[in-house]
Structure 1
Amino acid sequence: MASATVFSFQALVYRELRATGMFGPIRQPEIVSSPATARGNRMRIGFRAVQAVEPQRRSESVAPLCASAAPSSSLRTIPAEEEKATSTVAYEELAKELEHASPLAIMDRALEMFGGDIAIAFSGAEDVALIEYARLTGRPFRVFSLDTGRLNAETYRFFDAVERHYDIRIEYMFPDALEVQALVRSKGLFSFYEDGHQECCKVRKVRPLRRALKGLKAWITGQRKDQSPGTRANIPVVQVDPSFEGLEGGSGSLIKWNPVANVEGKDIWNFIRTMDVPINSLHSQGYVSIGCEPCTRPVLPGQHEREGRWWWEDAKAKECGLHKGNIVQDSLNVQSIGTQASDIFETQAIVNLTRAGIENLLKLDNRREPWLVVLYAPWCQFCQAMESSYIELSEKLSGSGVKVGKFRADGDQKPFAKQELQLGSFPTMLFFPTHAPGPIKYPSERRDVDSLLAFVNVLR
Structure 2
Amino acid sequence: MAFSVTSSPAAIRSSSLSSSFDQLPRAAQFSAFQALDRSHLPSAAANFSRRRCSAVRQLNAAEPKRNDSIVPSAATLSPPELVEKLEEEDYEKLAEELTNASPLQIMDKALEKFGNDIAIAFSGAEDVALIEYAHLTGRPFRVFSLDTGRLNPETYKFFDQVEKRYNIRIEYTFPEAEEVQSLVRTKGLFSFYEDGHQECCRVRKVKPLRRALKGLRAWITGQRKDQSPGTRSEVPVVQVDPVFEGLEGGVGSLVKWNPVANVKGNDVWNFLRAMDVPVNTLHAQGYISIGCEPCTRPVLPGQHEREGRWWWEDAKAKECGLHKGNIKDENSTAEANGLAPVVADLFVTKNMVDLTRVGIENLLKLKDRKEAWIVVMYAPWCQFCQGMEASYVELADKLEGSGVRVGKFRADGEEKEFAQKELSLGSFPTVVLFPKHSSRPIKYPSEKRDVDSLMAFVNALQ
Same fold flag (TM > 0.5): yes
Aligned residue type for 2:290: I
Q: How does the TM-score come out when normalised to structure 1? A: 0.78
Alignment correspondent of 1:296: 296
Alignment correspondent of 1:236: 236
Alignment correspondent of 2:115: 115
Aligned residue type for 1:431: L
The secondary structure found in structure 1 opposite 2:342 is helix
CA distance in 2, matches of 1:63, 1:445: 47
CA distance in 1, matches of 2:62, 2:364: 65
Residue 371 of structure 1 contacts residue 402 of structure 1 at CA under 8 Å; is this kept in 2?
A: yes
CA distance in 1, matches of 2:41, 2:158: 35
The secondary structure found in structure 1 opposite 2:267 is helix
Residues 276-304 of structure 1, C-alpha deviations (whole Å, 9 max, x = no match): 11111111122211111222222234432
Matches within 5 A, 1:441-452: 441-452=443-454
Residue 193 of structure 2 contacts residue 312 of structure 2 at CA under 8 Å; is this kept in 1?
A: yes
Q: CA RMSD in A?
A: 3.6
Q: 1:324 offset after TM fit, Å?
A: 0.3
Alignment correspondent of 2:227: 227
% identity of equivalent residues: 69
Change (3 A) 1:337 1:221: farther
CA distance in 2, matches of 1:254, 1:174: 21
Residue 43 of structure 1 contacts residue 50 of structure 1 at CA under 8 Å; is this kept in 2?
A: no
Alignment correspondent of 2:362: 360
Aligned residue type for 2:347: I
Which of the numbers 342, 347, 353 marks the counterpart of 1:344?
A: 347
Most deviating of 293-302 and 47-56: 47-56
Alignment correspondent of 1:62: 60
Residue 232 of structure 1 contacts residue 330 of structure 1 at CA under 8 Å; is this kept in 2?
A: no
Residue 382 of structure 2 contacts residue 428 of structure 2 at CA under 8 Å; is this kept in 1?
A: yes
Change (3 A) 1:64 1:127: farther
Residue 242 of structure 2 contacts residue 325 of structure 2 at CA under 8 Å; is this kept in 1?
A: yes
Aligned residue type for 2:361: E
Change (3 A) 1:195 1:53: farther
Q: 1:341 offset after TM fit, Å?
A: 1.9
Q: 1:114 offset after TM fit, Å?
A: 1.3
CA distance in 2, matches of 1:191, 1:436: 36
Change (3 A) 1:203 1:392: same
Q: Which has the larger radius of gyration?
A: 2
Q: 1:455 offset after TM fit, Å?
A: 3.1
CA distance in 2, matches of 1:192, 1:33: 51
Alignment correspondent of 1:180: 180
Q: 1:124 offset after TM fit, Å?
A: 0.5
CA distance in 2, matches of 1:437, 1:285: 40
Residues 65-87 of structure 1, C-alpha deviations (whole Å, 9 max, x = no match): 999xxxxxxxxxxxx9xx66x62
CA distance in 2, matches of 1:337, 1:377: 11
Residue 345 of structure 1 contacts residue 390 of structure 1 at CA under 8 Å; is this kept in 2?
A: no
CA distance in 1, matches of 2:334, 2:236: 18
CA distance in 2, matches of 1:325, 1:100: 23
Aligned residue type for 2:234: N
Change (3 A) 1:438 1:34: farther
Matches within 5 A, 1:10-409: 47-48=47-48, 52=52, 61-64=59-62, 87-328=87-328, 339-348=342-351, 350-363=352-365, 370-394=372-396, 402-409=404-411
- The count of residues paired between Structure 1 and Structure 2 equals 410
Q: 1:155 offset after TM fit, Å?
A: 1.0
Residues 374-420 of structure 1, C-alpha deviations (whole Å, 9 max, x = no match): 11234544334433433444455556654432112245534543454
The secondary structure found in structure 2 opposite 1:222 is coil
Q: 1:62 offset after TM fit, Å?
A: 2.3
CA distance in 2, matches of 1:311, 1:332: 25
CA distance in 2, matches of 1:331, 1:210: 28
Residue 228 of structure 1 contacts residue 316 of structure 1 at CA under 8 Å; is this kept in 2?
A: no
Change (3 A) 1:385 1:257: closer
Alignment correspondent of 1:76: none
Residue 42 of structure 1 contacts residue 51 of structure 1 at CA under 8 Å; is this kept in 2?
A: no
Structure 1 unaligned residues grouped into runs of 5+: 1-31, 68-79
Change (3 A) 1:49 1:271: closer
Q: 1:369 offset after TM fit, Å?
A: 5.2
The secondary structure found in structure 1 opposite 2:168 is coil
Q: 1:242 offset after TM fit, Å?
A: 0.7
CA distance in 2, matches of 1:107, 1:319: 24
The secondary structure found in structure 1 opposite 2:327 is helix
Residue 66 of structure 1 contacts residue 135 of structure 1 at CA under 8 Å; is this kept in 2?
A: no
CA distance in 2, matches of 1:293, 1:42: 48
Change (3 A) 1:33 1:221: farther
The secondary structure found in structure 2 opposite 1:246 is coil
CA distance in 2, matches of 1:458, 1:395: 19
Q: 1:331 offset after TM fit, Å?
A: 7.1
The secondary structure found in structure 2 opposite 1:162 is helix
Residue 347 of structure 2 contacts residue 408 of structure 2 at CA under 8 Å; is this kept in 1?
A: no
Change (3 A) 1:217 1:392: closer
Q: 1:227 offset after TM fit, Å?
A: 0.9
Change (3 A) 1:440 1:124: same
Q: 1:252 offset after TM fit, Å?
A: 1.3
CA distance in 1, matches of 2:412, 2:195: 20
Most deviating of 239-248 and 322-331: 322-331
CA distance in 2, matches of 1:337, 1:379: 11
Aligned residue type for 2:126: E
Residue 230 of structure 1 contacts residue 334 of structure 1 at CA under 8 Å; is this kept in 2?
A: no
Aligned residue type for 2:209: L
Alignment correspondent of 2:29: none
CA distance in 1, matches of 2:139, 2:414: 52
CA distance in 2, matches of 1:437, 1:368: 12
Q: 1:454 offset after TM fit, Å?
A: 3.6
Q: 1:330 offset after TM fit, Å?
A: 6.8
Q: 1:139 offset after TM fit, Å?
A: 1.3
